[in-house]
Structure 1
Amino acid sequence: MFIDLILKSGKSAIDLCFYVLLPIMVVMMSFMRLLEAKRVLEFVSRVFYPVLKIFGMPGLGIFAALQILLVSFAAPIATLTIMEKKRVSEREIAASLAMIFTMSQANATFPLIVYGLNFKLILFTSIIGGVVASALTFYYFGKNLSYGDVVHGDINEKPTDKSILSILLDGGNEAVNLIIKSIPLILLAIFFVNVLKAIHLIEWLEKFFNPLISIFGVNPSVTLPVITKFLAGGTAMMAVTIDLIKSGIMTAKDLNLIAGFVINPFDVVGVMVLCSAGDATKKVLRHAALGATVGIMVKGVLHYLLFSLM
């Protein structure tokens, strides 16, 4: 049984890395490197930095926000990697990571819209929660992290004479190396989740939390998606939720009441994937996690209250 769990986890990790993350990362990293070479990142960073710095984020934070909201939970890795290489301070990386952890990831949001998820509301609460998480991390949880006179607008110091094809290939190769390095962390995270499933801990947690969830007037059936999300990730949560809605056990209203809490990349798998961006990202994980916890609570409560009033 133990060997079977290892093999099953390995297959899941390889599927996730090579068939989900790799295509996204190759395209996103190549695209970001092209924008960097053409000095688009420099321009956008300078334009947005005066506003984003209020909430503790660098100018590049706008790219991270768009990537998580419109592409996938893994897409911001490209921006985090560039932040590390361009000397963005630890406090700003922590603030950006907290924002990413809080916002709703597109790979779960868009499929669930078909099953009744209120996209405008989840987008609004994601922005509010992300801003709260970022600001709290920068000004409070990460105040002891390094922060100095770093470069915010000068993203690409020297124009490159490389061809567009060479730039795209460099970005693609960087993405491949990044994904390969992340395989051990992702495999271990998935193995951990599979062990919890094998010992029936998830089933026990579902029974334990059912009465608590019922207090808030929410269908107890949402317990399974909630637990699945924080242990197995947003994609697994999405699959479980769709299955429950199709079978009539959950409704679109049930989904919207918990959406603010469960649609985000702040889970075992998501954390492992995003932290593969580099050493600085790993270093600020604890600070970002604290900020994200508050941000997700704000986002979740806000989404719950607003949807209840609609």
Structure 2
Amino acid sequence: MVEFLDIVLRAGRSGVELALFILLPVMVVMLALMRLLEAKGVLDKLVILLAPLLRPLGLTGLGVFAAMQISFVSFAAPVATLAMMEQRGASDRHIAATLAMVMAMAQANVVLPMSTMGLSLGTTMLFSLIGGLVAATASYHVFGRHLSNREGNVDETLKHPVAEDAKGVLDVINRAGAEAFKITIGAIPMLVLALVTVAALRNSGAITALTALIAPLLTPLGIDPAMVLPTLTKYLGGGTAMMGVMGEMLRDGSASVATLNASIGFLLHPLDIPGIAVLISAGKRVASVWKVALMAACVGVAVRTLAHVMLF
């Protein structure tokens, strides 16, 4: 019992430090910037500019906005946009394409903090965008071509606060700070639980035994056996939990920055149990196309994985 409590206390301290000293500052700055650009109408203009170019890939204006949300806010941010698409009459085919894109892209709430650990930010975001567009295209033109393409009178206007004076700017910043704090505090339980579970499995020898069992299959493929632990954590506990585990591995030397960058293509996206559960909660029609989106997202993640492996 004493050993278990020691594990809990050490994991708790690591989880809280990661959330408050890395995740929170990064999210406050990025969310404030994102919300200010939104309030000033910059994002509206960008969506209007990009929407016609991406329409052949299966993305509408709201789909473009969802890509910006996952890239600069968090994986949960596009939930509101997906719900909006459903309520405003977007077709099932367009919803599936947007959902596939979001599932295949890297989420900002993990990408940005991990850039302080050595993650190549620009490369990760570029490959994330490419993977997302590939997933959207695969969903719209291949896996989801049987879905309804009928649209209602879709209103793609983005409703958000404006910042026309100093008070408006301050209000936007304060709301962004509160949103960042909420995201950070919400991440702490998963971080702590993931770190406790990992530490317990390590102390019991389970991770060592599993790694030794799988290593003969991974080594010929050029995959570092050390990635077994973060991969299991990611697909069962989500990207935030993986971030906590990778941070520990980088600190104790069991993983390197080069390994992190080479493997991030299949480690960083919402295509995991918690991520899928959150995204399909956007609405009934969103949930009805999740299988199509999942298959297309796998194609996008595969493209990202190959790109990272080839570059790093």
**TM-score normalised by structure 2 residue count:** 0.70
- Counterpart of 1:299 in structure 2 is 304
Residues 172-211 of structure 1: pairs in structure 2 closer than 5 A: 203=207, 206-211=211-216
- Over 3 Å counting, the alpha-carbon distance change for 1:251 and 1:92 in structure 2 is same
Q: CA RMSD in A?
A: 3.9
Measure how far apart 1:108 and its partner are: 1.2
The one-letter code matched in structure 1 to 2:231 is: V
- Counterpart of 1:86 in structure 2 is 88
- Counterpart of 1:6 in structure 2 is none
- Over 3 Å counting, the alpha-carbon distance change for 1:210 and 1:111 in structure 2 is farther
Pick from 104, 109, 133: which aligns with 1:131? Answer: 133
For residues 129 and 225 of structure 1, what CA distance do their matches in structure 2 show?
21
Give SS of 2:61's match.
coil
- Over 3 Å counting, the alpha-carbon distance change for 1:43 and 1:135 in structure 2 is same
- Over 3 Å counting, the alpha-carbon distance change for 1:148 and 1:46 in structure 2 is farther
For residues 142 and 288 of structure 2, what CA distance do their matches in structure 1 show?
16
- Over 3 Å counting, the alpha-carbon distance change for 1:208 and 1:292 in structure 2 is farther
For residues 156 and 228 of structure 2, what CA distance do their matches in structure 1 show?
47
Pick from 48, 51, 64: which aligns with 1:62? Answer: 64
- Over 3 Å counting, the alpha-carbon distance change for 1:207 and 1:76 in structure 2 is farther
- Counterpart of 2:251 in structure 1 is 246
Give me the identity figure in percent: 37
- Over 3 Å counting, the alpha-carbon distance change for 1:273 and 1:232 in structure 2 is same
1:147 aligns with 2:149: yes
For residues 211 and 297 of structure 1, what CA distance do their matches in structure 2 show?
22
Residues 93-132 of structure 1: pairs in structure 2 closer than 5 A: 93-132=95-134
Which string of whole-angstrom CA distances, capped at 9 and with x for unpartnered residues, describes residues 172-229 of structure 1? 9xxxxxxxxxxxxxx9xx9xxx8xx99x9x8465444323332233432111111111
1:266 aligns with 2:268: no
For residues 311 and 258 of structure 2, what CA distance do their matches in structure 1 show?
12
For structure 2, list consecutive stretches of 5 or more residues without a partner in the other structure: 1-22, 160-167, 176-189
The 8 Å contact of residues 43 and 153 in structure 1, kept in 2 or not, is answered as no
Measure how far apart 1:156 and its partner are: 7.7
Paired residues in the alignment total 256
The one-letter code matched in structure 2 to 1:293 is: C
Give SS of 1:60's match.
helix
Which string of whole-angstrom CA distances, capped at 9 and with x for unpartnered residues, describes residues 100-122 of structure 1? 01111111111211121111111
